Structures are given as C-alpha cells and as structure tokens.
Amino acid sequence: MKILITGATGKVGSRLAQRLAAQGHHVRALVRDASRAGAMLGKWMEFAEGDLLNPDSVVPAVQGTAAVVHCAAFFRGATPEQAYAVNERGTHHLASVARLANVRRFVFLSTGLTYGPNEGRLCNEDDICNPVDAYPLSKLAAEKMLLTMEDFDVRILRLPFVYGDGDPHIEEVIPFMRGFPPRQRMSIGHHVDVAQAVSRLLDAASPSHRIYNVVDDEAPELAELFAAVGQPPPDGTNAERAAAFSALLDGRRIREDLGFKPTFPRLKDAIEANALDRMA
C-alpha cells in the first residue's frame, strides 16, 4: 500500500513510518523540509514537501496514495490559536484534499486527553468528552469534523501516553508532572503497539467512521512510571492540574473489533524486554 504519513519527524510518526516501511508499504512523508527530514530519517522513505496550513501544497503529496495516516500535531508550547490552526484547520485541509484525490482510507491519530478529567474512571469511545486544554479541544474539534465527512473512510485512534523505542517521553514529562499525585494512574501504550493498531486500522475492511482507544492492559501509577527512568515519585503538590490527565482509556473495542493485543501489556513487560531504550 502507498501511504502518506504526516508528522514523520515526530516521536510517534518517525517510529510508525519505520515500522510501516518494514512491513512492505511504500511510505511517503509530508514534511516542510525534505533535506532535513532525509538527514533525520534516512533514504528509505519518499518525501513530499508541503504545509498543512496551505491546502494547495499538500495536493501533490496526496496524489497516488491509497491511505493517509495523519500524525502531525502542535502540542507543547502551542497557543490555543496555533493548536486550532494546525490540529483542526490543518486536518480539515488534508482530509479535504485526500477525499478529492479518492484516497481510500484516512487514519487520524488523536489523543485520550479528549475525554477530560473524570477522576480516574475508564472511558470508552462513546463517552461524552469534556477536555479542558487547547490541545485536546483542538483534536476533538478535528475528530468531529472528520466524522461529518460522508463517503470518506475515516478511522480515529485515540492514543494514551506513548513511550518506548528510545523515546525520551517519560524523562521529558517528569518536570511537568512532578507535582502530580504519586498514586494517580495513567494510560500508556508502547510505540510498537501504536504501530500495530494503525496497521490493523489500515487492513480492516470495516467499519468506517469509528473511534478506537489504543492502550496497554495496565495503567501504571505515576510513581511506577517515574521509577522506570530512575526518578523519585511525584510529590502530589499540584493535584488540581493533574485532574486534566486523570481519565483512563478502555481498550476493549479495538480488541473486540480488530483483534488487537498489546505486545507489551504492562510497563514492566517493556522494561524486562529492554524496549524502553531501543526499537522493539
């Protein structure tokens, strides 16, 4: 399958692109600077320059592809205006171009943060979403827009906190979560299982316009997550801010519909396999 992937220089997109290529897919990456992307990712991928905020620039990138996997997003450091511009309007531009080009399938990588604070209860894909921050609000707006596009095969994947494969994501989040409660749990998923979920969405004949949570079997306490990178537990001094990240993902739908089964069901399984520091 010829696949256009956005966000291929990001944490999730770069690892996903490598795995899709290893499966035999022809991967084309939408990037702003092909020379920089080539130096980062190597020459095993085709590059197409374009900008999500300029719809005309993405037309050549989409042409001839069977599927689009949309990973690109503006997260940390984005103002609300920037988050909506890239995450909602940029997604609309890309999806509209893909639809006109008769792309068969559009997979949108969203976030479990769309559920908003709910005191640690499990959330399934039919639950009402009440996010509080600009990033999940903009991703939810993009989801809603995509689900209104008729005669277009859209699949949405809500990701948890993604880790592993040498990604420093856990280390990077320590300062932000230092004041969170140590016993607060967080839904997580390894990069290899994000790739598995995307592959299953690409391969499945039906159903379209469907949302899936992808998540490990076990949501670790933050104290365990911190310990995985040799850090002491968080101190609980900012429990109010932590509430925005309290929702846990229910992963039953993707298991029942598509046969998904995590390669690393628990954080400790990934640690034992040395899959935190290298590609699994």
Whole-Å CA distances, 54 to 58, 59, 85: 7, 10, 11
Helix (H) or strand (E) holding 40: helix 34-41
The sign of the dihedral angle between the CA atoms of 110, 167, 189, 241 is negative
Give the pLDDT score at 113.
97
Q: Residue 168: helix, strand or coil by DSSP?
A: coil
The pLDDT assigned to 41 comes to 75
CA distance 241 to 40: 35
pTM for the model = 0.96
pLDDT of the chain along its 280 residues, tens only? Answer: 999 999 999 999 999 999 999 999 999 999 988 877 777 777 678 999 999 999 999 999 999 999 999 999 998 778 999 999 999 999 999 999 999 999 999 999 999 999 999 999 999 999 999 999 999 999 999 999 999 999 999 999 999 999 999 999 999 999 999 999 999 999 999 999 999 999 999 999 988 999 999 999 999 999 999 999 999 999 999 999 999 999 999 999 999 999 999 999 999 999 999 999 988 7
* Amino acid identity, position 41: L
Distance, in Å, from the CA atom of 15 to the CA atom of 18, rounded to the nearest integer, reads: 5
Specify whether the CB–CB gap between 254 and 213 falls below 8 A. yes
The whole-number pLDDT of residue 240 equals 95
Number of Cβ within 10 Å of residue 39's Cβ equals 10
Catalogue all structural domains in the chain, each as residue range(s) with its CATH number: 2-167+187-219+249-269 (3.40.50.720)
Strand 67-70 and strand 105-111: the pairing is: parallel
Strand stretches in the chain, DSSP E: 2-6, 26-31, 46-49, 67-70, 105-111, 122-123, 154-159, 161-163, 188-190, 210-213, 248-249
**CA pseudo-torsion sign 91, 154, 98, 197:** positive
Give CA 214 to chain center in angstroms. Answer: 9
Whether the Cβ atoms of residue 180 and residue 222 lie closer than 8 Å to each other: yes
User: What's the pLDDT at 172?
Assistant: 96
CA distance 161 to 189: 6
